[in-house]
A and B are shown apart, each in its own frame.
Chain A
Amino acid sequence: MTSAPRAAQLGLVGCHTCGLVSAVGQAQCPRCGARLHPRKPDSLARSWAFLVAALILYIPSNVLPVMYTSMLGRGETSTIVHGVVEFWKSGAWDIALLIFIASVAVPSTKFLVLATLLVSARRQSSWARLQRARLYRFIELIGYWSMLDVVVVALVCALVQFHLLGTAEPRAGIVFFGLVVVLTMFAAMSFDPRLIWDGDEE
């Protein structure tokens, strides 16, 4: 493995915002003025709070309809999963898969990965550190693609406005879903990946 020293050992701290390395003990980065801290404050507690809030809202976001559409007098509401099934039935399996990944697989993965990271970081576990570090960067990278369904609902509602012939309106499910995406992003940002490696230098 590597023998690179860690900042805490050398009494150094890196600025999150501009990257400058300075000695521990200053409240602000001398170059950009951002607040300096060796670890994100209350990282685990904050991350858990956002994650639990996201999990709670994930239920109504899946149960409640995301959109109401009426075409030629026939009105219906649809949930996220319903939308995936519709695409699948109509033969657009690739789009069905895309929405499934963005709306179901990505949020579920984020929940599982973040919970695993939070539990193992609290226990200062040395288990699979490199893999956990990679998992964190992975969910950081994919997290925001979940916003896909929000965009689709917005476009359909803006376009299908024919009054008598047909209309489409957003419903509460999409509000909860949008909040879930934002909360999981906050949860991932609150987690300090450096906690994964604490204890590695011995």
Chain B
Amino acid sequence: MTHPGLVICEYCDSVYRRSALGDDEIARCGRCRAVLYRASRLDLDHLLALTLAAAIVFVIANVAPVIRIAVSGMHNEANLLQSIAALSHGSGLVVGLVAAATLFVVPLLQIVLLGWVLVFARARRRAPGFAFAMRWLHRIRPWSMTEVFLLGVLVAIVKLSGMLSVIAGPGTYATLILTGLITLIAKRDVRTLWDRLPADETVEFGE
């Protein structure tokens, strides 16, 4: 027995009846004031366009150097992946893996899974593996840390500028845009897709 007309606050277990929201309105829990759900302004086409843009910017942000430094006629530059590799040096392997997961793997998965789901959602269909993709999008959301990397770049620039000449590379600007795009597409609640897309007759999970 399911109740699609109801919503339960995930922070305090209060039960409410769903009601339609106007633009920019947010439904909050009366008991604990947590957000229950919000009106989604973006339609599926916009969301997909932003996801594709994020995919392109993601590649640039990972390949292009984020910082260039120069000293005594020598110069050097590093991108995100090189930074993760430098951290993984020797005993740093464990923290290198954490950085690789939160700065590279999770944002990549967010873009790929969301893109996959949205391509089919435009045709008002649930993608193959829809439940799997939606479960993982929800699960990895807290581990996406692109904005922390952006702040780290800023701090590193200030830290190194004392003794070297430092400039921000194109990777920094790409990370800035990527942070904005990921916030727009993946930090918002994509769970509304469950309600917006009708289920197929075929059940996707066993048992």
- A-side residues, CB < 8 A to B, are 1-2, 4-8, 10, 12-14, 16-23, 28, 30-34, 38, 71, 87, 90, 92, 95, 98-99, 129-130, 133-134, 136-137, 140, 144-145, 147-148, 150-162, 165-166, 169-172, 174-175, 177-179, 181-182, 185, 189, 193-194, 196-197, 200
Contacts and interface: CB of A to CB of B under 8 A. Distances in A.
17 contacts: A7-B15, A18-B138, A21-B2, A95-B158, A147-B148, A150-B95, A150-B98, A151-B152, A154-B83, A155-B78, A158-B78, A159-B160, A170-B91, A170-B92, A178-B94, A178-B98, A179-B95
A170 B89 contact: yes
A150 to B, nearest CB: 6
Nearest to B207: A28
B153 interface: yes
Contact of B152 (A2, A6, A152): A152
A130 B104 CA distance: 36
Nearest to B29: A4
Interface of B: 1-4, 6-8, 10-16, 29-34, 66-67, 69, 71-72, 74, 76-78, 82-87, 89-92, 94-96, 98-99, 102-103, 131, 134-135, 138-139, 142-143, 145, 148-149, 151-153, 155-156, 158-160, 162-163, 191, 194, 199, 204-205, 207
Nearest to B74: A162
A34 B135 contact: yes
